[in-house]
Each structure stands twice: as structure tokens, then as C-alpha cells.
Structure 1
Amino acid sequence: MSERAREERRQGPALVRGKFLPDSTYDERLLDQRGSTEWLHMDPWRVLRIQAEFVEGFGQLADLPSAVTVFGSARTHPDSPDYALGVRLGGALARAGYAVITGGGPGCMEAANKGAREAGGVSVGLGIELPFEQKLNDYVDLGIEFRYFFVRKTMFVKYADAFVVLPGGFGTLDELFEAVTLVQTGKITKFPIVLLGTAFWRPLIEWITESLLANGMISPEDPKLLYITDDPDEAVQHIVDSRRQADQVALESRVQAASAQQNGT
């Protein structure tokens, strides 16, 4: 049997092998504007597929309890300290009543899903079609496979009360800085972002302070959007405290609005 015949790939809800394997992903074909202009006539149909992914994601995740999205490297080995940290984090989140959402892959994602599952919590994995196969890990209770990164990213944010970021590579950094940007620009508010692993993240925090802040590229309060710790329990407590504070502020705002309306009548 040829090497290609043994390969397989997830495409949304489908699994394809052998001669059905495409030469590119849906994201590649969506973003590629080179060559034939045939794509001009296909994009309206792609919109329907994108819409279907949003509908499926919203439908599957709408009834989740309060959740926290956990990011981290897919390359982390099960015998590494970061994997053990992810398991502890997933368990702590589950015991605090949070569902755990990850990208559904191996490494740190698997660790967080495993911790949540073993603690009796809700374990969710949101997978993505990649040029190389990365199946959902065995600790996912609810798994959804997406074709398009931007749909998946929406689900990560929409159904989470916070992000916790374990050590990771480009994909992890992409999700981290997108979340920070959404908070910084007010697209999402009172959204805790926790960096777990001070030895790994400290150089990044120093660069943010010594380069971005020092050159006036961010505001003085922006570095405070990132909370860094080595303790999963401290990370969870920070999320709980932030949510409690946000709820209190919202309650006070509603009381003030009702009082102002009453005084104006």
C-alpha cells in the first residue's frame, strides 16, 4: 500500500483517505487568488459552507456551561512538565465548574482535556483541517471539526469566559495576541487572559514592556491584560475573581441605570 493510500484527513464532519485526499485545505483554496479566475464564481457557494460551520458550532456549543479555553503546544510530550501542568489545569477548571475548551489536538490540548475528563468536567475539542492529520484526542467528550480557522476562532472566544495559555508555538501565540487585541480594543470586555508557566512566558512579558511599551506602541495599562503564574489553582482563582468583579460591576451599572430612569420619571 502506498504512503498516500495510508494517509487520512478530517474535512469538517468527513474523513477522507487515499484517492479522496485533496492537495490543499479549504482555507488555502479560499485565500488563494492566483491562477484561474474560476474562484470568482465559487465564492458564493463557499459562503454557504462557512455559514453552515457557524450554525453547526453555535448549535453544538450553545448549551455549554461557563467555559475556559486553553491553548498550548500540540508538540508537548505526555511525560513533560508542561503536559502535567495542563492536566492539573484542566482538573482545577473542572472542579471550579468550568467546561474546558481546547483545539482538540495532542500535547497541551490533550492534557487539559484529560484533566477535565478525569475531574468529571465537560471536555470540548474544536479541531481544524490541516495539511497533516491531527485527530481529536481521546479525552474530548464533545468534538467539532472545522474547515475554516476564523470560524473556529470565533467559537474559542464566544463560548469562553477566559483564556489560559500554556507554552506553545506560532499557533498558540496567534491565539494569545488575537485575544489580547480583542480585549485591548474593547471587542470583548472583562476577559481574563492567563499565561501559565513563568519561565516560558517571562521573556515575552519583558519584550512587551521593554520594546512595545517603551516605544509607545501600547498603552501603560496594556501589559496588565496578561496575568502570569505557575500555579493552576491561582490561574483558576484569578478567573473566578475577575468574573465575580465583572458581575458586580454589571449589577451596579444596572442599579444606577434603573435609579436614573426612576428619578427621571
Structure 2
Amino acid sequence: MTEYRKGPVLLRGPNVPDSSTSGRLLGEQDTPDWLHEDPWRVLRIQSEFVEGFGALAELGPAITVFGSARSHVDAHDYAQGVAIGEMLAKRGYATITGGGPGIMEAANKGAHEAGGVSVGLGIELPNEQGVNEYVNLGINFRYFFARKTMFVKYAQGFIALPGGFGTMDELFEALTLVQTRTIQRFPIALVGTAYWGGLIAWLEESMAADGKIAASDLDLVMVTDDPAEAVNHVTTDLAVAVD
């Protein structure tokens, strides 16, 4: 049976909508009705921040782990995700993910099975609903920007495994926040040199070479094939910090 989660509400069958809350917010308006509707949306957005802040305020130290929802359970990066969640739990860190399948599920699984706090921040999407079974603290969001705030606000660093547009979105948002000194210390580790190598080379050979970023900005992210090295990077004071 088709299921659709709209914030805390579960819809099934004929009640499943054909568009998302974020899509309706950002969609083109044909009539001036939005003048009357958007003020109410503000209250709903406010409620998402209140719920998120309330649920995570006492979380303690945490690391956000990103990666593809499309990775299979027998994939190498899935196993790496499990190992990362387990190591974080053993170091006393909660693991925060987007709550979905693939690498998100893997990191939640490692954290949960190691007795740690396994957080899933779900999002209302047409093709990705709910949170995986290994999440022991879950929140469902309607709006991407409210959810993205929680990823950064309650984490002390990011670990990104191979992923798609969503992973890139979160990665570059974090890099921007650190580069602009909006946040003062936020170590970022990428796991998978073969996967990330082309991107890092482009950043160096095109973006930095053309003066669009400083060469030193590349030091804001480290790349490794070793999950333990990534965990060590984001959980110790040896990580790169912005002065």
C-alpha cells in the first residue's frame, strides 16, 4: 500500500497527494490567493523549528552522516556506513542522518546496534517516505530548510559517503558556512577517494585556480578511504578549524 508522510500525518491510498509541501510553497502562483495562505504557512514552518529544537536540544555531541539513499545493503559503502555509526556510538556521539534507506540506514544501523543514539530527520518527498527501522529518535519535516538547519545546528561535524544531489547540497552548504565563518568549527570528512577525487581535483584545478575560492579553502575538507580516519577527524580537536 502506498504511504505518504506529511509531517507527523500518515496518508494512504486515495489520500496520497500528488505534490509536496515544499513544492507547493515554491511553486508558481496563478492567483493572489497566496497572499492569504502564506502567513499560515509561516506558522507551520515555525512549528517545525519548534519541534526540531525541542526534540534535539538535549541530544549531546553528534555527527551528521550523509550518503546515497540508493546504496544496497551488500555494497561496500553501506558497510562503511555501518562501521561509522558504530564507531561514533562507541565514542559517545549520536549519529544524525536523513533517516532514509541506503547509507543513511547503514549509519543508523551501526549506531543503533552499538547502543548509541540514532537520529533520523525525515522529509516529505514523493519517492522517499518515513524513516528507517534503525532510527531511535526520528522527526519528519515538511520543509527542506527547517530540516537542513537541524543537520548543522545539532552536529559537530559531517561525514559524507558517496551520494547524489542531496549529499552534494548538504556538503556545499556546510562548506559555505565554514568558509564564511558563519560557524567557527565544523570538520568535514569525505569517505571514498575514488568517488570524491574528481570533485576535489575540479575544485583545485578550476575553482581555486581561477580565484573563485582560496587554495586554503580546500583544507576545510579531508578525503579518506578509512572510516576510522574520518571518524577521528570529526571527533577530535585535530580537525581543521577556522580561526
2:145 aligned partner: 150
Measured after TM superposition, the shift of residue 111 of structure 1 is: 0.3
- Give, as a single letter, the amino acid of the residue that structure 2 aligns with 1:97: G
- Give, as a single letter, the amino acid of the residue that structure 2 aligns with 1:111: A
Residues 52 and 140 (structure 1), Cα distance of their counterparts in 2 relative to 1, 3 Å cut: same
Conserved in 2, the CA contact under 8 Å of 1:12 and 1:147?
yes
1-structure distance, mates of 2:240, 2:177: 19
- TM-score scaled to structure 2, two decimals? 0.96
1-structure distance, mates of 2:56, 2:235: 21
Measured after TM superposition, the shift of residue 208 of structure 1 is: 0.4
Larger displacement relative to structure 2 (233-242 or 112-121): 233-242
2-structure distance, mates of 1:149, 1:245: 28
SS, match of residue 237 in structure 2: helix
Measured after TM superposition, the shift of residue 235 of structure 1 is: 1.2
2-structure distance, mates of 1:34, 1:13: 26
Conserved in 2, the CA contact under 8 Å of 1:8 and 1:133?
no
Asked if 1:40 corresponds to 2:40, the answer is no
1:170 aligned partner: 165
Asked if 1:106 corresponds to 2:108, the answer is no
Asked if 1:227 corresponds to 2:222, the answer is yes
Q: Structure 1: which 5+ residue stretches go unaligned?
A: 1-5, 250-265
1-structure distance, mates of 2:237, 2:15: 48
Residues 52 and 243 (structure 1), Cα distance of their counterparts in 2 relative to 1, 3 Å cut: farther
Asked if 1:213 corresponds to 2:208, the answer is yes
Measured after TM superposition, the shift of residue 133 of structure 1 is: 3.8
- TM-score scaled to structure 1, two decimals? 0.88
What are the equivalent positions in structure 2 for 1:172-251 lying under 5 Å apart?
172-242=167-237
Q: Structure 2: which 5+ residue stretches go unaligned?
A: none
SS, match of residue 219 in structure 2: helix
Measured after TM superposition, the shift of residue 44 of structure 1 is: 0.4
Asked if 1:59 corresponds to 2:54, the answer is yes
Conserved in 2, the CA contact under 8 Å of 1:190 and 1:242?
no
Conserved in 1, the CA contact under 8 Å of 2:208 and 2:214?
yes
- Give, as a single letter, the amino acid of the residue that structure 2 aligns with 1:169: G
2-structure distance, mates of 1:20, 1:145: 18
Conserved in 1, the CA contact under 8 Å of 2:5 and 2:130?
yes
Asked if 1:119 corresponds to 2:114, the answer is yes
2:88 aligned partner: 93
1:252 aligned partner: none
2:5 aligned partner: 10
Conserved in 2, the CA contact under 8 Å of 1:104 and 1:110?
yes
Measured after TM superposition, the shift of residue 135 of structure 1 is: 2.3
Runs of 4+ with deviation above 4 angstroms? 243-246
2-structure distance, mates of 1:202, 1:40: 47
1-structure distance, mates of 2:128, 2:154: 26
CA offset digits 1:171-224 (Å, max 9, x no partner) = 110110111001011111110010011111111110100010111100111011
Residues 206 and 244 (structure 1), Cα distance of their counterparts in 2 relative to 1, 3 Å cut: closer
2:134 aligned partner: 139
Residues 197 and 244 (structure 1), Cα distance of their counterparts in 2 relative to 1, 3 Å cut: closer
1-structure distance, mates of 2:6, 2:168: 25
Residues 142 and 20 (structure 1), Cα distance of their counterparts in 2 relative to 1, 3 Å cut: same
- Name the Cα RMSD after superposition: 1.4
Measured after TM superposition, the shift of residue 240 of structure 1 is: 2.6
Residues 244 and 169 (structure 1), Cα distance of their counterparts in 2 relative to 1, 3 Å cut: closer
State the aligned residue count. Answer: 242
SS, match of residue 155 in structure 2: coil
CA offset digits 1:141-192 (Å, max 9, x no partner) = 0000000000000000000000000000011101101110010111111100
Conserved in 1, the CA contact under 8 Å of 2:219 and 2:240?
no
Larger radius of gyration: 1
CA offset digits 1:107-163 (Å, max 9, x no partner) = 000000001111111100000000124221010000000000000000000000000
